[in-house]
Amino acid sequence: MTQWSFYVVSIFTLFGALGTIMSKNAIHSVIYLILTFFSLSAHYVLLNAQFLAAVNIVVYAGAIMVLFLFVVMFLNIRDEASELNNNKVMIAASIVGGTIGLILVAAIRLTDIPRVNPYTYQVKTGFIETLGKLLYSKYLLPFELVSVLFLIAMTGAVMLGKREKGERNF
C-alpha cells in the first residue's frame, strides 16, 4: 500500500517537475511547481513527517508560490522568451544543465546513504513534539540565528520599499 502510494506520488512529482521546466507559459510553469510542492508534501506524509508536510504546504505552496503567481500575473509574460530562438543560448544552456545533472548523478552515486534500522527507528521522529524539543535544545543557536537573519531580511525589504524623497509614487 505504502509502496504503491509512493509510486503514484512520485509520478505526480516528476510530472509536475517536468511540467515546470517544459511549459512555455510562465503561469503554467508556476502551477506545475505548486503541484510538485504538493506531491513533495505527500512524500513527507509517507515518511510520517506530518508537521514538515503541513509547513511545506503553508509556507511554500501557500505563501511563496502565491506571491510567485502574483508577480508573474502582473508581469504578464505571454510570449515565449526570445532567447529560446537563439541557438547559441540553447547550446550553452544544455551544456551547463547537462554538467550540473552529471555532477548531481555522480554525487548521488558516490554518497553513502545511511540506512535506518527498522527495529530501533522512532516512529515519532517527524512529529512536531520531537522536532520542537530538538529545535529548542540542541539546535537553539542556529534556530535563533535564522530568526535574526529573517529579521534583517525583513528590515532590508522595508528599507527597499520605503519611499524616497523626490521619488514619485503614482
- When asked if residue 55 is in the footprint of other proteins (CB under 8 A), the reply is yes
Between CA 127 and CA 17 the distance in angstroms is 27
Residue 30 grid coordinates: 508556476
From 85, 76, 95, 78, select the one nearest 24 (Cα to Cα): 78
- When asked if residue 31 is in the footprint of other proteins (CB under 8 A), the reply is yes
**Binders of other proteins: how many residues, by CB under 8 A?**
23
| DSSP string covering 11-28 | HHHHHHHHHHHH-SSHHH
Residue 131 CB, nearest approach to other proteins (Å): 11
Between CA 66 and CA 132 the distance in angstroms is 27
Among 8, 21, 22, 58, binds other proteins (CB under 8 A): 58
Query: Residues 55, 35: contact at Cβ < 8 Å?
Result: no
- When asked if residue 40 is in the footprint of other proteins (CB under 8 A), the reply is no
Please identify, using beta-carbon distances, which residue of 13 and 49 lies nearer to other proteins.
Answer: 49
- When asked if residue 47 is in the footprint of other proteins (CB under 8 A), the reply is no
Residue 54 grid coordinates: 503541513
Among 9, 26, 33, 34, binds other proteins (CB under 8 A): 34
- When asked if residue 66 is in the footprint of other proteins (CB under 8 A), the reply is yes
Within positions 124 to 143, which residues make up the interface with other proteins, using CB under 8 A? 127-129
Residue 110 grid coordinates: 558516490
| Strand, coil or helix: 77 | coil
- Contact residues: other proteins, CB under 8 A: 27-28, 31, 34, 50-51, 53-55, 57-58, 61-63, 66-67, 69-70, 73-74, 127-129
